Chain A
Amino acid sequence: MSAQPMHIHPYERNWMVFSAVMLVLFATAVSVAAFGMGIQVPAPEQRVDPRIVATDPNSPWSNPGLREVSPGKYDAYILAHAIPVWEYLPKEITVPAGSSVSFYVTSSDVQHGFKIQDTNANFMVIPGQVSKLTIKFNKPGTYNYICTEYCGSGHGIMYGAIIVTP
Chain B
Amino acid sequence: MKQYQLSTGEKKFIGSHLLVAILALSVGSLFGPLQAFEHAGWDIYPYIKPLIKSYYQGLTVHGVLNALVWTTFFIMGFLTFNVMFGLKRPLKNPTLNKVGFWLMVVGVVAAAIPILANQATVLFTFYPPLKANWAFYLGLTLVVVGSWVEGWGLFMTYFAWRKENPKELTPFIAFASLVTALLWQICTIGVATEILTMLLPWSLGLIAGVDPQLARTYFWFTGHPLVYFWILPAYISWYAMLPKQAGNGKMFSDSLARLSFWIFLVLSTPLGFHHQYVDPGIPPVWKFIHSMLTFSVFFPSMMTAFTVIASLEHAGRKNGGKGTFAWIGKLNWSDPSVAAQLLAGILFFFGGIGGLANASYNVNLVLHNTAFIPGHFHLTVATAVTLSFMGISYWLLPYLTGKKLWMPKLAVAQAWIWFVGMIIFSNAMHVLGLLGAPRRVPLGLAPYVPPEWNSRLFQVGVGGAILFVSGACYLTVMLMTALSKETVKEEVEVPVAESMQDLALTPVWLDRWAPWIYGALALIVLVYGPVLFDLIKNIALTSPGFRVW
Using a CB–CB distance below 8 Å, which chain A residues touch chain B? 1-9, 11-12, 15-16, 18-20, 22-23, 26-27, 29-31, 33-34, 37, 39, 41-45, 47, 49-51, 82-83, 86, 109-111, 113, 115, 117-118, 120, 122-132, 144, 146-157, 159
List B contacts of A22 (CB < 8 A).
298, 302
Closest partner residue, chain A, to B123 (CB atom): A150
Answer whether residue B6 sits at the interface, using C-beta atoms and an 8 A cutoff.
Answer: no
CB–CB A42/B280 < 8 A: yes
A9–B256 Cα gap in the complex (Å)? 10
Known: A33-B360, A39-B362. A3 touches B302 (CB 8 A): no
Closest partner residue, chain B, to A121 (CB atom): B365
List A contacts of B279 (CB < 8 A).
42, 123-124, 126, 129
CB–CB B448/A3 < 8 A: no
Q: Can you list 23 residue pairs at the A/B interface with Cβ under 8 Å? A: A2-B504, A2-B506, A19-B303, A20-B299, A22-B302, A26-B298, A27-B295, A30-B292, A37-B362, A43-B280, A50-B543, A113-B438, A115-B368, A115-B436, A117-B436, A127-B212, A127-B543, A129-B212, A148-B369, A150-B130, A152-B548, A153-B56, A153-B548
Q: How far is the CB of A23 from chain B (nearest CB, A)?
A: 5
A51–B448 Cα gap in the complex (Å)? 30
Answer whether residue B278 sits at the interface, using C-beta atoms and an 8 A cutoff.
Answer: yes
A27–B288 Cα gap in the complex (Å)? 10
Partner of B505, one of A7, A31, A82, A156: A7
CB–CB B299/A19 < 8 A: yes
Answer whether residue B489 sits at the interface, using C-beta atoms and an 8 A cutoff.
Answer: no
List A contacts of B255 (CB < 8 A).
6-8
Known: A44-B282, A156-B443. A1 touches B277 (CB 8 A): no
CB–CB B253/A9 < 8 A: yes
Q: How far is the CB of B77 from chain A (nearest CB, A)?
A: 29
Q: Other than the known A148-B368, A152-B548, A155-B56, what 13 A-B pairs have Cβ atoms closer than 8 Å?
A: A1-B168, A1-B511, A23-B298, A26-B295, A39-B362, A41-B365, A109-B129, A111-B127, A113-B369, A123-B278, A127-B542, A129-B213, A153-B549
CB–CB B438/A30 < 8 A: no
List A contacts of B436 (CB < 8 A).
115, 117-118, 146
Partner of B540, one of A34, A128, A130: A128
Using a CB–CB distance below 8 Å, which chain B residues touch chain A? 54, 56, 123, 127, 129-130, 167-169, 211-213, 216, 252-253, 255-256, 259, 276-284, 287-288, 291-292, 295-296, 298-299, 302-303, 306-307, 310, 356, 360-362, 365-366, 368-370, 436, 438-443, 445-448, 501, 503-508, 510-511, 538, 540, 542-544, 546, 548-549
List A contacts of B278 (CB < 8 A).
41-42, 122-124, 131
List B contacts of A155 (CB < 8 A).
56, 440-441
CB–CB B287/A41 < 8 A: yes
Partner of A131, one of B280, B295, B306, B356: B280
CB–CB B448/A122 < 8 A: no
CB–CB A4/B370 < 8 A: no
Closest partner residue, chain A, to B54 (CB atom): A153
Closest partner residue, chain B, to A34 (CB atom): B361
Q: How far is the CB of A139 from chain B (nearest CB, A)?
A: 16
Q: How far is the CB of A63 from chain B (nearest CB, A)?
A: 21
A2–B511 Cα gap in the complex (Å)? 10
Closest partner residue, chain A, to B435 (CB atom): A117
Closest partner residue, chain B, to A111 (CB atom): B127
CB–CB A157/B365 < 8 A: no
A42–B273 Cα gap in the complex (Å)? 13
- Classify the interface of chain A: helix, strand, loop or mixed: loop
A43–B276 Cα gap in the complex (Å)? 11
Question: Which 7 residue pairs of A and B lie closest in terms of their CB atoms, listed nearest first?
Answer: A152-B548, A148-B369, A19-B302, A123-B278, A33-B362, A131-B280, A156-B441
A122–B363 Cα gap in the complex (Å)? 11
Partner of A19, one of B253, B298, B448, B546: B298
**Max chain B C-beta neighbours (<10 A), residue from A26, A120, A159:** A26
Known: A30-B291, A126-B212, A148-B368. A82 touches B546 (CB 8 A): yes
List A contacts of B540 (CB < 8 A).
47, 49, 128
List A contacts of B546 (CB < 8 A).
82-83, 109-110, 152
Closest partner residue, chain B, to A131 (CB atom): B280
List A contacts of B123 (CB < 8 A).
150
CB–CB A110/B361 < 8 A: no
List A contacts of B447 (CB < 8 A).
157, 159
Partner of B169, one of A1, A37, A144: A1
CB–CB A3/B360 < 8 A: no
Partner of B299, one of A23, A39, A156: A23
Known: A15-B302, A20-B299, A44-B281. A122 touches B256 (CB 8 A): no
A30–B290 Cα gap in the complex (Å)? 12
Q: How far is the CB of A39 from chain B (nearest CB, A)?
A: 5
Partner of B438, one of A11, A47, A147: A147
List B contacts of A113 (CB < 8 A).
368-369, 438
CB–CB B298/A41 < 8 A: no
A29–B546 Cα gap in the complex (Å)? 42
CB–CB A16/B303 < 8 A: yes
Q: How far is the CB of A84 from chain B (nearest CB, A)?
A: 10
A4–B508 Cα gap in the complex (Å)? 8
Q: How far is the CB of A5 from chain B (nearest CB, A)?
A: 7
List B contacts of A18 (CB < 8 A).
302
